[in-house]
């Protein structure tokens, strides 16, 4: 499931000049396979690829051992933080509390440092010492395998929950499902009005509120909006036929999804987990499973490769519609 | 004779011009401080309520002012936009030294502006607002003093310029 990354426009502009120079000097093969860039103060510059971790040397080429790799300085991380936040940390207070920021292209940047507490709650992070660039790749046609299981009729889709551990292509699949539902699937389903609550700005990769990812012609995006409030706002204000959201889990999210499902709006959501049983045993989100709100469960796995569709399961009655043992299906490579 | 007359006129003109130039800075200073206060108040709104990125907030905060203060904020916004790795504090220092001749601001207000610049973008919204309010309050105080100085000195320097020109011309003749 490896799409292209626009390095010049989405990654280099948010890296400190030195790091940007090193990564642009690295082999195209490494960039093509890159999944993460990990920066840590006084630690080697590490690029995680589909083939494993690669240390980058002072010339941008692969370093044989960590000792000979380029070691990121405090300035490198400081400058990178300034570029990511556009010198405006105040505009990312909530994101800092959650420990990540999202930049153009939908790349999520994880942060680690020193937590500042106020009344026992995390107020912000200071002395950021580690950054993890999780690179997002748009994969057109990523949802081709699962879309027949999601469509219920000419203007109908099933309530669908995508279950996946981190880094298995959940957001990529959700993005392409949104695009295909908004465009319509020829011969199966005409385009539907989609409301997207993109709390982490990863699905639509909005810049100044405008999506940069191709989501088709019928999508309204609530960018950086908490899911619970966003879902209800969209239902009230934009009259969507389908609502899409990422990574549900909190009690408020589940209550809002309940509202949407009862309002007759179809829902496509994702959740971190291994399988349906795993999710069913969780607080809050487990209620949705136990009460059979979802018609379809799509389970993703990274074995043998990222984006593999493990299973597609019908919710009521519970029935496995597809299992990867029959033949491995990889999103985007069908 | 004609040469002396022209020479005298030039000396008187130069003295008068010098006096008026010094007086102009006294006139300009409270005006520019007032503009800075307005921009800072506006910047606070863009940061606090709209959470705009700093460069955009700086640009927008100058919507109602013109002249050197507008150029000052716009220049800082340009630096932040084009060289994102430069901190706002550095951008303020760089721009202030570049525009020193155009801005009619003295040491006290310079200190306040640099202190504000050093805190911009690096703290949360609440703290940012406190810093902006503090800078505004300090500038208000300096503005009042600058008005008193202006009222005391503008006429004096204008007369002084004319008188110095005349005196020099008389002495030379």
Query: What are the sequence ranges of the domains in chain B?
Result: 2-172
Interface list for chain A against chain B, based on CB atoms closer than 8 Å:
13, 16-17, 79, 82-83, 85-91, 93, 123-124
Residue of B nearest to A90 (CA): B124
Give the pLDDT confidence score for residue A259 in this predicted structure. Answer: 87
CB contact under 8 A, B54 and A82: no
Give the pLDDT confidence score for residue B5 in this predicted structure. Answer: 85
Give the pLDDT confidence score for residue A333 in this predicted structure. Answer: 53
Q: Which of B85, B123, B128 sits opposite A82 (nearest CB)?
A: B85
CB contact under 8 A, A87 and B47: no
* Chain B 51-110, residues with CB within 8 Å of chain A CB atoms: 51-55, 57, 80, 84-88
Per-residue pLDDT in tens (0 to 9) along chain A, 334 residues: 456 888 998 999 999 999 999 999 999 999 988 989 999 999 999 999 988 899 999 998 888 888 999 999 999 999 999 999 888 888 888 888 888 888 888 898 999 988 888 888 887 788 889 999 999 887 778 888 899 999 988 888 999 999 999 878 888 899 999 999 999 987 777 889 999 999 888 888 887 788 888 899 999 999 888 888 999 999 989 999 999 998 888 899 888 888 888 888 999 999 999 989 999 898 888 988 888 889 999 999 888 877 888 889 998 888 888 887 655 666 665 4
CB contact under 8 A, B123 and A85: no
pLDDT digits (tens, 9 = 90+) for B64-108: 888 999 999 999 999 998 988 889 999 999 999 999 888 988 899
Residue B122 in contact with partner chain A when CB distance is under 8 A: yes
In Å, how far is B139's CA from the nearest CA of chain A?
Answer: 23
* Chain B 133-152, residues with CB within 8 Å of chain A CB atoms: none
Give the pLDDT confidence score for residue A334 in this predicted structure. Answer: 47
Which domains does chain A carry?
Answer: 7-134 (3.30.450), 147-326 (3.40.50.300)
- What mean pLDDT comes out for the span B2-18? 88
pLDDT at B138 over 90: yes
In Å, how far is A89's CA from the nearest CA of chain B?
Answer: 5
CB contact under 8 A, A124 and B124: yes
In chain B, pLDDT over 70 holds for what percent of residues?
100
For residue A89, the chain B residues in CB contact (below 8 A) are: 121-124
pTM above 0.80, yes or no: no
CA-closest candidate to residue B47, choices B143, B148, B132: B132
For residue A91, the chain B residues in CB contact (below 8 A) are: 47, 51-53
Say if CB A38 and CB A110 are below 8 A apart: no
Give the pLDDT confidence score for residue B96 in this predicted structure. Answer: 93
Q: Which of A13, A17, A86 sits opposite B54 (nearest CB)?
A: A86
For residue A87, the chain B residues in CB contact (below 8 A) are: 53-55, 80, 84, 87-88, 120-121
Arithmetic mean of pLDDT over chain B = 90
């Amino acid at each position: 499931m490896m799409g292209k990354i626009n390095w010049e426009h989405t990654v280099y502009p948010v890296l400190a000049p030195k790091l940007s120079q090193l990564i642009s000097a690295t082999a195209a093969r490494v960039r093509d396979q890159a999944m993460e860039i990990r920066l840590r103060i006084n630690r080697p510059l590490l690029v995680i690829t589909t083939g494993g971790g690669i240390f980058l040397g002072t010339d941008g080429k692969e370093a044989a051992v960590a000792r000979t790799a380029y070691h990121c300085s405090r300035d490198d991380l400081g400058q990178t933080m300034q570029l990511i936040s556009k010198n405006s940390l105040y505009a990312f207070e909530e994101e800092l509390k959650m420990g990540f920021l999202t930049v153009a292209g939908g790349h999520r940047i994880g942060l680690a440092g020193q937590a500042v507490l106020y009344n026992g709650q995390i107020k912000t992070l200071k002395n950021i010492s580690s950054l993890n660039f999780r690179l997002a790749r748009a994969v057109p046609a990523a949802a081709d395998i699962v879309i027949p299981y999601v469509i219920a009729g000419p203007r109908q889709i099933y309530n669908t929950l995508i279950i996946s551990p981190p880094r298995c292509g959940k957001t990529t699949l959700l993005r392409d499902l949104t695009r295909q539902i908004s465009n319509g699937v020829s011969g199966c389903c005409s385009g539907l009005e989609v409301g997207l609550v993109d709390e982490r700005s990863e699905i639509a990769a909005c810049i100044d509120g405008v999506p940069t990812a191709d989501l088709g012609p019928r999508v309204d995006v609530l960018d950086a909006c908490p899911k619970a409030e966003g879902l209800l706002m969209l239902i009230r204000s934009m009259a969507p036929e389908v609502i899409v959201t990422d990574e549900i889990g909190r009690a408020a999210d589940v209550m809002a999804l309940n509202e949407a499902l009862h309002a007759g709006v179809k829902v496509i959501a994702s959740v971190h987990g291994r399988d349906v049983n795993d999710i069913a045993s969780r607080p809050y989100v487990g209620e949705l499973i136990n009460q059979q709100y979802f018609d379809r469960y799509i389970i993703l796995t990274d074995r043998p490769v990222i984006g593999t569709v493990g299973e597609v399961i019908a919710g009521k009655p519970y029935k496995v519609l597809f299992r990867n043992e029959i033949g491995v299906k990889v999103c985007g490579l069908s | 004779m004609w040469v002396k007359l022209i020479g005298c006129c030039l000396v008187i003109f130069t003295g008068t011009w010098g006096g008026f130039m010094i007086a102009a800075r006294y006139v300009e200073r409270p005006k520019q401080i007032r503009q800075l206060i307005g921009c800072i108040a506006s910047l606070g709104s863009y940061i606090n309520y709209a959470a705009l990125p700093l460069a955009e907030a700086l640009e927008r905060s100058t919507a109602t002012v013109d002249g050197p203060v507008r150029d000052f904020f716009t220049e800082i916004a340009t630096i932040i936009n084009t060289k994102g790795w430069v901190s706002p504090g550095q951008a303020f220092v760089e721009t202030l030294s570049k525009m020193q001749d155009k801005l009619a601001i003295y040491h006290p207000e310079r200190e306040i502006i640099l202190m504000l610049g050093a805190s911009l973008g690096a703290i949360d919204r609440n703290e940012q607002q406190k810093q902006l309010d503090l800078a505004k309050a300090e500038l208000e105080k300096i503005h009042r003093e600058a008005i008193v100085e202006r009222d005391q000195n503008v006429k004096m320097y204008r007369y002084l310029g004319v008188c110095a020109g005349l005196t020099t011309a008389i002495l030379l003749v």
